[in-house]
Amino acid sequence: MRAMAIEEFGGSEKLKPMDLPVPEITDHEVLIAVKAAGVNPVDWKVRDGLLRERLPHAFPLIPGWDVAGVVERVGSKVKRFAAGDDVYAYARKPVVQGGAYAEFIALPLENVARKPKTLSFEEAATIPLSGLTAYQALFDRARLRSGDVALIHAAAGGVGGFAVQLAKTRGAVVLGTAGSRNHDYLRSLGVDEPIDYTQGDFCEAVRKTHPEGVDVVLDTLGGDTLVRSASLLKKKGRIVSLIDPEGIARLKAGGVKAHYLFVSPNARELTKIAEIIEKGLLRTTLAATFPLADAAKAQVMSATHHVRGKIVLII
């Protein structure tokens, strides 16, 4: 099968076309013919070797943790899917190797859900990693409730954009940080109060309209932003970081209700997200599409950190 893979850690030049075997599947796995693969910052971080201390890796390594496609075949114990079903999945596995930048991918049943009927394969491939991250951060960790005031950092990004929309489905008041050029976009997603982080202290902007503080913060930046955001929390406020486990540990030691999240595969939650999408309450934004052969270019674009929405490879 065609794939884009690396044989050693390094820059974008290490990501090269390869002809690799179609994966075998176990009794509880699904083989998916990949139609589209999402491109996320974690993909180039894997390529650079930045996760080698946290997760086991094996070469040749195919990146990619977002996938949408068609079931090719299923293991003998799989009853939920059959060949020909349209599916999508968060494709992280215990060993980082057989990812979505390929014509086929084998995944455990607990990773895979039916694709939202209202989305194309390209659109569906933008959802799993970012959508699950937003869902788990807001609902599983922060326990967001109706009427809560939520501050979402980098609200125009992949995770941030989904978090805004999911928060609105729970009846939250949403504050979102982004440059001013993205404020109309934020409002279209449901942000009640856009905050321009480039034009002054975001803490002052929050306190101006919410002097009592906020109930929930979703941190995507870590460091000083994490610490300053925690100072905005109400007495029973909760903060979730996607980037800074050490900072979260320090906040917890100081008595703050703080959580670090590294998103986990969860087919049940992916199914819930699909239902929200099919009700018209959650939409995605395709920033750009690339053919599989241009995966390195797609990763370079992702690494700029200035992408509105998501990048997708078309297989």
What would the pLDDT profile of 125-169 be if each residue is shown by its tens digit?
A: 999 999 999 999 999 999 999 999 999 999 998 899 999 999 999
Report the 10 Å Cβ neighbour count for 191.
27
**Strand, coil or helix: 305:** coil
Is residue 70 situated within a structural domain?
yes
Q: Identify whether residues 122 and 10 lie together within a single domain.
A: yes
Is the pLDDT at 242 greater than 90? The verdict is yes
pLDDT at res. 301? 95
Question: Which structural domain range is residue 199 located in?
Answer: 130-260
Residue 33 belongs to domain with CATH number:
3.90.180.10
**Cα–Cα nearest to 310, from 68, 116, 137:** 68
Is residue 231 situated within a structural domain?
yes
On the 0-12 / 13-18 / 19+ scale of CB atoms within 10 A, 76 is: exposed
pLDDT at res. 48? 97
pLDDT at res. 307? 77
Is residue 274 situated within a structural domain?
no
**Cα–Cα nearest to 168, from 184, 153, 150:** 150
Is residue 190 situated within a structural domain?
yes
Respond yes or no on whether the N-terminal peptide bond of residue 60 is cis (omega within 30° of 0).
Answer: yes
Please state whether beta strands 310-314 and 149-152 pair in parallel, antiparallel, or not at all (unpaired): unpaired
Q: Identify whether residues 155 and 65 lie together within a single domain.
A: no
pLDDT for 55-112, tens place per residue?
999 999 999 999 999 999 999 999 999 999 999 999 999 999 999 999 999 999 999 9
**Cα–Cα nearest to 125, from 257, 298, 7:** 298
Is residue 252 situated within a structural domain?
yes
Q: Identify whether residues 103 and 188 lie together within a single domain.
A: no
Residue 162 belongs to domain with CATH number:
3.40.50.720
Domain count, the chain: 2
Taking the whole predicted model, whether its pTM rises above 0.85 is answered as yes
Residues 310 and 283: their CA atoms lie apart, in Å, by 12
Are 241 and 259 in contact, with CB atoms under 8 Å apart? yes
Mean pLDDT of the chain: 97
Q: Identify whether residues 15 and 113 lie together within a single domain.
A: yes
Domain boundary, last residue among 218, 244, 260:
260
Q: Identify whether residues 304 and 293 lie together within a single domain.
A: yes
Mean pLDDT computed over 271-283: 98
Q: Identify whether residues 112 and 143 lie together within a single domain.
A: no
Q: What's the distance, CA 147 to chain centroid?
A: 25
Q: Identify whether residues 203 and 120 lie together within a single domain.
A: no
- Phi/psi at 291 (5° precision): -70, 160
Instruction: Report residue 213 as tokens.
Output: 């503080």
Planar angle of CA 33, 123, 168, nearest 5 degrees: 135
Q: Identify whether residues 90 and 163 lie together within a single domain.
A: no
pLDDT at res. 309? 78
Q: Identify whether residues 121 and 109 lie together within a single domain.
A: yes
